[in-house]
């Protein structure tokens, strides 16, 4: 185990600042998010005001540098924030996670003029940002993307985009789209990243997808029809887009894992409370050893996932050479564990687990997609195996 991991009652050793961040986030989530999560889910309501209010807490640019309004925090700090928000609502937390991934890509790969132009609004959440990689015919095989960006205008002052992005979280609600598009040859080397504002001519959105979970945020196609974007919105030069997209995902995967962890913890807490109250065969059902063993396993697996995630995040903070592998391992492990724990919690509530008002079925639905997006869990295994075999 990493030297930075100390076993204090099964918890990662957090410093005082990190505990304060956790407390502040929990307080916000308990007051502004948790009481509304079920209603937002049912009404498929996007709580634009509450999302933007997180900007006041510095959640719009958690690991964006502070010269452009970011909070300048680390990856472990971010994980703590997403975990705490997800305990109230994983769908809410994951929306903010994707916004942060897009913000960081501009911070890390934008030049100073781009950082100054885009990030103060994004970090404060006056503007929301989406990440656009997936296309109708390419998901896991992202390097096969077809959306084209062609240099045009006098002196090549613009790019003109044509194509479509699929499954884009926040599409239509966001103000800024960080788009991977093809400017050159087939494969990863022909891909570039452009920042596309919502009011760009030729940009439109598909219908809102009818999903299993994540109901409080819209998922739609983003459609480019001769969509004109100034050439100065290109991040870091042509041909760098695929590595920019993958770098964004390293942190994104930790964040989405944190969303699973928080959601699963909430499911376990609900199961603990319910099994203490519910009676069958003359006693509280938590007196049956079969249920106790189930609860013990859920706690053990969740704590193990938490330690692993915190260790992976601190590796990315230290820019460890194997940080990408650890992000992939953490994403796979924590999202699988989180889903299994939430699903077990549903079982422990019996028929009530299946009812919306008890809150657990929503957690199961919300956590299921974390095994699919930001790279499926099969692709996480591909990444880990590549690192392992490549070392031989």
Ligand X SMILES: Cc1cc2nc3c(=O)[nH]c(=O)nc-3n(C[C@H](O)[C@H](O)[C@H](O)COP(=O)(O)OP(=O)(O)OC[C@H]3O[C@@H](n4cnc5c(N)ncnc54)[C@H](O)[C@@H]3O)c2cc1C
Among 55, 139, 172, 252, binds ligand X (CB under 6 A): 139
Enumerate helices (H) and strands (E) in the chain, giving the number of each: 11, 10
Cα separation, 159 vs 81, whole angstroms? 37
Region near ligand X per CB under 6 A, out of 47-55, 268-276, 315-323, 368-376: 368-376
Nearest residue (beta carbon) to ligand X? 139
Asked if 251 is part of the footprint of ligand X (rule: CB under 6 A), the reply reads no
Q: Is 83 a residue of the active site? A: no
Task: CB nearer to ligand X: give 160 or 256.
Answer: 256
Binding of residue 168 to ligand X (CB under 6 A)? yes
Residue 61 binds ligand X, judged by CB under 6 A: no
If binding is defined by CB under 6 A, does position 244 make contact with ligand X?
Answer: no
Output the CA–CA distances (angstroms, integers) from residue 246 to 131, 147, 204, in the order listed. 12, 17, 25
Cα–Cα distances in angstroms (integers) from residue 69 to residues 57, 59, 114, 120, 124, in the given order: 12, 11, 14, 5, 7
Torsion-angle region of 8 (φ positive above 0: left; ψ -120 to 50: alpha; else: beta)? beta
Residue 354 token pair: 């299946």
Which residue from 375, 133, 109 is spatially nearest to 256, judged by alpha carbons? Answer: 375
DSSP per position, 69-120: T-----HHHHHHHHHHHHHH-HHHHHHHHHHHHHHHHHHHHS-HHHHHHHHH
Residues touching ligand X, count (CB under 6 A): 22
Give the nearer residue to ligand X in terms of CB position, either 214 or 274: 214
Binding window for ligand X (CB under 6 A); candidates: 41-49, 199-207, 327-335, 378-386: 378-386
x/- track of binding to ligand X for residues 77-116 (CB under 6 A): ---------------------x------------------
Q: Which CB, 168 or 200, lies closer to ligand X?
A: 168
Q: HSE-up of 172 (CA within 13 Å, CB side)?
A: 14
Positions in 140-159 near ligand X (CB under 6 A): 140
Q: Any idea which residues carry the catalytic annotation?
A: 374
> Can you give the binding site for ligand X, defined by CB under 6 A?
98, 130-134, 139-140, 167-169, 211, 214, 219, 369, 372-373, 375-376, 378-379, 382
């Amino acid at each position: 185990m990493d030297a930075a991991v100390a076993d204090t009652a099964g918890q990662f050793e957090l410093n005082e600042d990190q505990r304060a961040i956790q407390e502040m986030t929990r307080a916000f989530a308990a007051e502004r998010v948790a009481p509304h999560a079920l209603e937002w889910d049912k009404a498929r309501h996007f709580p634009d005001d509450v999302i933007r209010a997180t900007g006041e807490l510095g959640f719009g640019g958690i690991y964006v540098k502070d010269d452009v309004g970011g909070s300048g925090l680390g990856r472990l700090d971010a994980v703590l924030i997403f975990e705490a928000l997800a305990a109230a609502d994983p769908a809410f937390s994951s929306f903010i996670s994707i916004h942060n991934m897009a913000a960081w890509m501009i911070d890390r790969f934008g030049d100073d003029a781009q950082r100054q132009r885009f990030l103060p609004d994004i970090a404060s959440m006056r503007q929301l940002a989406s990440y656009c990689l997936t296309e109708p015919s390419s998901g896991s095989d992202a390097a096969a993307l077809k959306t084209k960006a062609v240099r045009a205008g006098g002196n090549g002052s613009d790019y003109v985009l044509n194509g479509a992005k699929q499954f884009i979280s926040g599409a239509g609600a966001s103000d800024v789209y960080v788009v991977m598009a093809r400017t050159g040859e087939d494969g990863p080397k022909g891909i570039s990243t452009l920042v596309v504002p919502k009011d760009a001519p030729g940009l439109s959105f598909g219908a809102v997808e009818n999903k299993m979970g994540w109901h409080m945020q819209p998922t739609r196609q983003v459609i480019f029809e001769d969509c004109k974007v100034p050439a100065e919105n290109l991040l870091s030069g042509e041909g760098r887009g695929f590595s920019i997209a993958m770098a964004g995902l390293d942190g994104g995967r930790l964040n989405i894992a944190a969303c699973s962890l928080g959601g699963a913890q909430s499911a376990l807490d609900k199961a603990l409370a319910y099994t203490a109250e519910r009676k069958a065969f003359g006693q509280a059902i938590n007196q049956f050893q079969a249920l106790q063993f189930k609860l013990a396993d859920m706690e053990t697996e969740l704590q193990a996932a938490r330690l692993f995630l915190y260790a992976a995040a601190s590796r990315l903070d230290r820019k460890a050479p194997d940080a990408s592998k650890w992000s992939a391992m953490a994403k796979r492990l924590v999202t699988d564990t989180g889903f299994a724990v939430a699903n077990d919690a549903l079982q422990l509530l019996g028929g009530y687990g299946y009812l919306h008002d008890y809150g657990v079925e929503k957690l199961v639905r919300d956590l299921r997609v974390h095994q699919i997006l930001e790279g499926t869990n099969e692709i996480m295994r591909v990444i880990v195996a590549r690192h392992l075999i490549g070392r031989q």
